[in-house]
Amino acid sequence: MPEKYELQLERHARRSLDRLPARDYERISAVIDSLTDDPRPRGALKLSGMGGLMRLRAGNYRIIYSVFDRDSLVKVLDVERRTSQTYERL
């Protein structure tokens, strides 16, 4: 059985999650939790020019994260509603 990854939420990601409506919070939290079993699920894309950052779509939201295979760690950096500025801050 493959090893589970540890999940780490950066402060900004946690604050973004806390601001979501309850229905969106439940759905997106479930997607984030699933990254511990499969950090590169179908639909996850590596962001070009972003130093190995990954993006996963969850409805109108984007989960921005990094995978550290050596440490079995998934670090969630941000959860943002999809806009033209979603990736500018990274």
pLDDT digits (tens, 9 = 90+) for 42-80: 999 998 877 789 999 998 999 999 999 999 999 999 999
Predicted confidence at residue 50, as pLDDT, reads: 73
Extents of the domains making up the chain? 6-81
Q: 45: which 2 tokens?
A: 């894309």
pTM: 0.85
Provide the CATH topology of domain 6-81. YaeB-like fold (3.30.2310)
Residue 18's identity, in one-letter code, is D
Given pLDDT bands bounded at 50, 70 and 90, which one contains residue 83?
A: low
Q: How far apart are CA 41 and CA 37, in angstroms?
A: 9
Q: 29: which 2 tokens?
A: 């939290």
